[in-house]
Chain A
């Protein structure tokens, strides 16, 4: 008998002896207090975890902020969906495969989540740009901020890429003597630019 058959047979014979448990249905968040509007909730949660939020009201304002911020950096790694005008904002754009040499990355989020302060990062925008540079800027559309994780997962479940990352703040660890440090492997600074 193959491993597969062996495992499945053993599981079947044991579980037939037990009453089946019913699935309890959709996870409902069930919070004791009323949640704020999604965009505000996201800002509170993401900031609490050490992330930064910049809110802009137009693409012109966004570009102005980006131009000023990027002036301090030399090499930029960009996600697939990032507007091409970014090439004129100062830093040299690194080629795909060279993301580890960039000192800042910029990626477009598929959405965000208020409940946990998370950014929904889609592999189709390029994973290395989201992970390798020490500073990451994430562009988010305010209309794509979901109230709960359940809402967000339902919104993507029928169109899944190879991987989705939920990024909820800068990389951290307390593994060295229980002292919290930032930027261990992933970006140590994450800025969500919400338009």
Chain B
């Protein structure tokens, strides 16, 4: 088990982040290099088009879909059923597991090929399949690497960005017998060979879904390797797990969303492979799955939707642009966040999906610099939603006794002018370096900083005397 997954839960964020920086400093190098590359590619890709207009358009398509979500889900269900697909509604991970168990049972499934899906990570599908005695095989190269390492993904788009080429060489040498100094081409070829056999042997392919067009019942998937096309084309049965927020009204809406998502995620004009899946193979087709199941997954999304501020986070298209530019995410990568979705977007959806208490302190894992909001392709006001969750944490009493005491002491002081002036004068003459040694709550602050020399007179004195 890896260092990062030792205490894998949001509540352990602070200690996990500190441990990552202390014990595995190379993670920061790998994550920093990958995210800076992703981000500079995005900058160029946004500049090639009228990206402001694209983003306004995408914000409104997703906003429209969300403010009519029940209607579009019903329409998507009708379209998919007309196309011959099976539709399931899952409120929880257990409901999804039951759908999978039924398919596994009925088709005698032994091996499942999977294409990268964050929703499947969220629902812990692999562990569930293993509990059924079924072998899940992740086929996205990054996801394959972390499956071999028994690690969770570190990034929404690049699950293994925290791992260096050297790490991969050692891993593949150990598991696939490649040379220790093998070039990336040779490593990829070895993985291709191993996974190709699984594609041909598997009875079931499980994918996620980037978008679901309501009018045609189309599950749209974006990728670069071709493993999603294989996962959804070669096995006899295909199960697509789709979050209910992935709905878009029209097939034609995919034109803008597929391009914008690729530009935001990796700076490409479009993913090298896009799958637009309507249902099982028709009578006119010689191959493709005979059975297609689409699972509409809630798993906390209706709770997030119920929050009159935070619901906007459901516009997210999972491009990872906010992770790539986040100065906090760049320090540690995703593992420290202790949950499937990391970085700024993880910090604003986890309180809805997991419950606020379980998600804390993630809304605080941000300096509120606002870079994430500047790059978001669907214009989610991420910093506002971070402060919203912080406010709710205070309202609901999820703050430490020390913070509560400090805030009420400040409120009492601020209502008494004499006491306020006296406290101000005390603070101006406090020797911070010494105070930091005495008061542990300050030590972290004064260790690396020199307090500026305080003014002899207070601001209020200066104001009364008339400031120039």
Contact = CB atoms under 8 A, between A and B. Distances in A.
B43 interface: no
A167 B251 CA distance: 18
Interface string A122-155: 0110111011100000000000000011101110
A127 to B, nearest CB: 4
Contacts of A152: 255
B269 A153 contact: no
Given A175-B145, A186-B225, A126 B286 contact: yes
A30 B49 contact: yes
A166 B244 contact: no
B251 to A, nearest CB: 5
Interface string A96-131: 100010000000000000011110000110111011
Given A154-B252, A181-B184, A32 B50 contact: yes
A4 B244 CA distance: 11
B254 A162 contact: no
B302 A153 contact: no
> Contact residue range for chain B?
35 or more
A92 B56 CA distance: 53
Contact of B298 (A3, A132, A148): A3
B54 interface: yes
Interface in A1-60: 2-4, 6-8, 10-15, 17-24, 26-32, 45, 49
Given A23-B60, A150-B255, A177-B163, A30 B273 contact: no
B298 A7 contact: yes
A27 B57 contact: yes
Given A3-B95, A3-B298, A123 B67 contact: no
Nearest to A166: B274
A31 B251 CA distance: 22
B231 to A, nearest CB: 9
B428 interface: no
A128 B287 contact: yes
Contacts of A24: 56-57, 60-61, 64
Contacts of A157: 216, 251-252
Interface string A178-195: 110111111100000000
Interface string B70-84: 100110000000010
A147 to B, nearest CB: 11
Contacts of B256: 27, 149-150
A167 B233 CA distance: 14
B156 interface: no
A126 B67 contact: no
B338 interface: no
B273 A115 contact: no
Contact of A11 (B70, B187, B200, B281): B70
Contacts of A20: 64, 67-68
Contacts of B54: 30
Nearest to A31: B49
A118 B226 CA distance: 14
Contacts of B285: 123-124, 126, 161-162
Contacts of A29: 49
Contacts of B34: 178
Main secondary structure, interface of A, reads loop
A173 B225 CA distance: 6
Contacts of A165: 229, 273-276
Interface in B185-217: 185, 187-189, 191-192, 195-196, 199-200, 216
Given A27-B57, A176-B165, A162 B305 contact: no
Interface string B266-288: 00111111111111111011111
B249 A23 contact: yes
A160 interface: yes
B259 interface: yes
Given A7-B298, A21-B67, A30 B272 contact: no
B287 A96 contact: yes
A11 to B, nearest CB: 4
A164 interface: yes
A23 B56 CA distance: 11
A76 to B, nearest CB: 16
B73 to A, nearest CB: 7
Contact of B287 (A3, A27, A126): A126
A163 B224 CA distance: 17
A42 to B, nearest CB: 12
Contacts of A177: 163-168, 184
Contact of B272 (A6, A130, A170, A178): A170
Contacts of B286: 80, 96, 126
Given A45-B269, A80-B286, A17 B191 contact: no
Contacts of A185: 139, 192, 195-196, 199, 225-227, 230
**B67, B158, B278: residue with the most chain A Cβ atoms closer than 10 Å:** B67
Contacts of B251: 153, 157
A163 B188 contact: no
B24 interface: no
A14 B269 contact: no
B87 to A, nearest CB: 9
20 contacts: A6-B298, A7-B302, A14-B308, A15-B69, A15-B305, A17-B308, A21-B60, A23-B61, A30-B50, A31-B48, A124-B284, A127-B229, A150-B252, A171-B226, A171-B272, A171-B273, A176-B188, A184-B226, A185-B226, A185-B227
Interface of B: 30, 33-34, 37, 48-50, 53-54, 56-57, 60-61, 63-64, 66-70, 73-74, 83, 89-91, 95, 139-142, 145, 158-161, 163-168, 184-185, 187-189, 191-192, 195-196, 199-200, 216, 218, 224-227, 229-230, 232-234, 244, 249, 251-256, 258-259, 268-282, 284-288, 292, 296, 298, 302, 305-306, 308, 311
Interface of A: 2-4, 6-8, 10-15, 17-24, 26-32, 45, 49, 80, 96, 100, 115-118, 123-124, 126-128, 130-132, 148-150, 152-154, 157, 160-179, 181-187
